[in-house]
Structure 1
Amino acid sequence: MYKIDEIFDIKKHDIISITGAGGKTSLMASLALSLSKKGRVLVTTSTKIALPKEGFDRLFTSFDAYFDDKDAKIICLGEKVPDKDKLASIGYKNLSKIVGDFDYVLIEADGCRNMPLKFRYPHEPVIYDFTTRVIGILPIKIMGKVTKDDFIYNYQGFSKNIGTGIIDSKIINKLIAYDKGFYKGFEKEKYFFFNQVESKSDFYRIEEFKKEFNFADIKLRYGSLKEGKFYEN
């Protein structure tokens, strides 16, 4: 087993965008906590995220309010969405001005409306060009389920472009390979993380998935954010 920041080979001054479904916010929080032991961390979004209640030392709900608080190890920053418990992006230009204030930057770059699987709309994900690593995430628990609109965000797009039926390695690999999906327009370090790998059947599914995972430019990782256990392929 490895520490969470180790499985993604994270280095100082990395800017990491997280895409996918089924654990993006939890992954970002776990990474922030681990990386804060090595340096200062910014947690933000290029789309929208739920307004965090914990997991940070300082929260700024607007770019205008932000200042470089040297005493804070984890800073969460976004623009408060009026009348909603959400934070929106501070924008590319604003973020590019302050990334140098931090040792690590974590960006939630995708939305899924709390569903475990999704197909992107044209405006998603939003991966800024100064990103150094992208981590795509899905929960292993979707394997073996039959595709339905009650747990797939943008089901119409999913069924048209990826397919329907039992969710197996073939469907997941097709989703990973989709050029406007997890890694849209990104050509640097890419990772795919299967979350919620906890039971014997989950590990069996991982072993079967490994046999069909054939992406030379994407590193496969898996584990459980809940249990704090992480593995490399």
Structure 2
Amino acid sequence: MYFRRGAGDPCISGSFAPMKQKVQKKNLEFLDALRLSTEEPWKLALVGGGGKTSLIFRLTEELVARGNQVIVTTTTHMAYEPERPFARDGEEELVRKNLREKGYTMAAAWDGSSEKVAGLSEEKLEALFSMGAFLLIEADGARRLPVKVPKSWEPVIPKSADLVIAVVGLDCLGRPIEEIAYEPRELAAFLGKKTEEKITPEDVLSLATSKRGLKKAVGKRRYVIYLNKAELAPETAFSLAKTLQERGYQAAYGSLKEGWIKRGEER
């Protein structure tokens, strides 16, 4: 597959700041581009590279704006943001209070050694979901690096999860594996490359579609691929998303930093 790179596709590196701006109604919303219905609450697990937390809170923002309630949690570790409502250990009374007052809450254990929030049990997740809120679960860690291949125990997708979104940061393109991957040796082995070799669009396709890659442990759940940081390589992002859809996968590309998203068939 030939991937066309436009004048705006330098494949440069760039830092990512968690998105704080308000939802821009002029753009297609992330819920719609990812084809996430809001008719009934669902349990969504997010896996893959950096950008999962930002995508979680973007979806939370859109869900709350539509009058829904959302619980954000993790099965691994997740950065603690003190400005957000938080129910330690998923304490149900506080969860209900935050949902009533804010429309959403984080609900997780607390890991004092890392000063991050940590995972809850499967039973606790079920108890939270029984409250009638949408459940968004960060089920993988990448230390904010754009790509990774899961270790033997990863990802930690709850048995009851309805769907999985895999996130890939396109700032990986054209850069050496050793610079942009979480556990570079494992990703290099998966791709059959050396750690000093660069990531190509074909590598992204392999990672996103393999059951040893980001599709690991998905099973029969609905699976969606989101290509983030598309502002760095818009033509390549479109070609990748289009190719994924032609191969039978649901895909979207966009920029959490700039606040836009497109479906795989849309340029």
Does residue 215 (structure 1) correspond to residue 247 (structure 2)? The answer is yes
For residues 140 and 163 of structure 1, do their structure 2 counterparts lie closer, same or farther at Cα, with a shift above 3 Å needed?
Answer: same
What does residue 46 of structure 2 align with?
18
Counterpart pick for 1:36 among 64, 75, 100:
64
Unaligned 5+ residue runs, structure 2?
1-26
Answer whether contact 2:49 2:167 (CA < 8 A) is retained.
yes
CA distance in 2, matches of 1:125, 1:215: 23
SS of residue matched to 1:179: coil
Q: Write out per-residue CA displacement over residues 29-72 of structure 1, whole angstroms, 9 at most, x where no aligned residue.
A: 11111111221000000111111233x4x201223x33222333
What does residue 14 of structure 2 align with?
none
For residues 71 and 212 of structure 1, do their structure 2 counterparts lie closer, same or farther at Cα, with a shift above 3 Å needed?
Answer: closer
What does residue 259 of structure 2 align with?
228
CA distance in 2, matches of 1:219, 1:109: 20
What does residue 224 of structure 2 align with?
191
For residues 101 and 180 of structure 1, do their structure 2 counterparts lie closer, same or farther at Cα, with a shift above 3 Å needed?
Answer: farther
What does residue 182 of structure 2 align with?
153
Unaligned 5+ residue runs, structure 1?
none
Answer whether contact 1:195 1:222 (CA < 8 A) is retained.
yes
What does residue 127 of structure 1 align with?
157
CA distance in 2, matches of 1:71, 1:184: 37
Normalising by structure 2, we get a TM-score of 0.79
Letter in 2 for 1:152: A
Q: Percent identity?
A: 23
Answer whether contact 1:35 1:41 (CA < 8 A) is retained.
yes
What does residue 19 of structure 2 align with?
none
CA distance in 1, matches of 2:59, 2:256: 10
Letter in 2 for 1:50: A
CA-based RMSD: 1.7
- 1:127 Cα deviation from its structure 2 partner: 1.0
What does residue 204 of structure 2 align with?
172
Letter in 1 for 2:235: Y
Normalising by structure 1, we get a TM-score of 0.90
Does residue 5 (structure 1) correspond to residue 31 (structure 2)? The answer is yes
Letter in 1 for 2:114: K
- 1:188 Cα deviation from its structure 2 partner: 2.0
SS of residue matched to 2:236: helix
Counterpart pick for 1:62 among 89, 105, 112:
89
Aligned length: 226
Q: Give the 4+ runs in structure 1 shifted more than 6 A.
A: none
CA distance in 2, matches of 1:26, 1:210: 20
